Amino acid sequence: MCFCARNIWSLDRLVEIAKVQSTEGSNAIEGIRTTGTRLRQLFADKTTPRNRDEKEIMGYRDVLNTIHESYEYIPVKASYILQLHRNLYRYSEKSIGGSFKATQNYISATDDTGREFVLDRH
């Protein structure tokens, strides 16, 4: 293998590692987890998802791959964003993929007495 081919292989490998780590980290923020082995198998399409978390990981993986492979051709338009959102939920039983949210977000907290209150209305 020539020096150039080895560097391309190394770069491709680093990109794949970064995508797996991004998928793991981004999903962990949402409480979506699986083992490292299962994550690598799911990412490599070597297995099928076993549960809701793994289905959501598969959708994230697909969207991340689409963006990585085609970012220069994806305009920032609502229709494209909704398509990516639809793909994100492709494996999920949730029917929210591909549509705008229709409800208000309320960020709340609970104080020391157990009283819940709204922090911000966005």
Quick: pLDDT tens for 53-101.
999 999 999 999 999 999 999 999 999 999 999 999 999 888 889 999 8
Helix (H) or strand (E) holding 119: strand 116-121
pLDDT of res. 8: 65
Distance CA 86, CA 107 (A): 25
Neighbour-count burial for 53-65, b at 16+ CB within 10 Å, e otherwise: bbbbbbbbbebbe
Please give the model's pTM, rounded to 2 decimal places: 0.73
Q: Which two tokens stand for residue 72?
A: 């220069």
Handedness of CA 69, 44, 33, 101 (dihedral sign): positive
Residues 32/57, Cβ–Cβ less than 8 Å: yes
55 closest CA partner among 68, 36, 42, 40: 42
Q: Which residue has the higher pLDDT, 58 or 30?
A: 58
- What is the structure's pLDDT at 121? 56
pLDDT at 82: 96
Q: How confident is the model at residue 3 (pLDDT cuts 50, 70, 90)?
A: low
Q: What percent of the chain has pLDDT over 90?
A: 52
State yes or no: pLDDT of 26 exceeds 80. yes
Comparing 59 with 118, the larger pLDDT belongs to 59
DSSP for 30-61, written as a single string: TT----HHHHHHHHTT-S---SHHHHHHHHHH
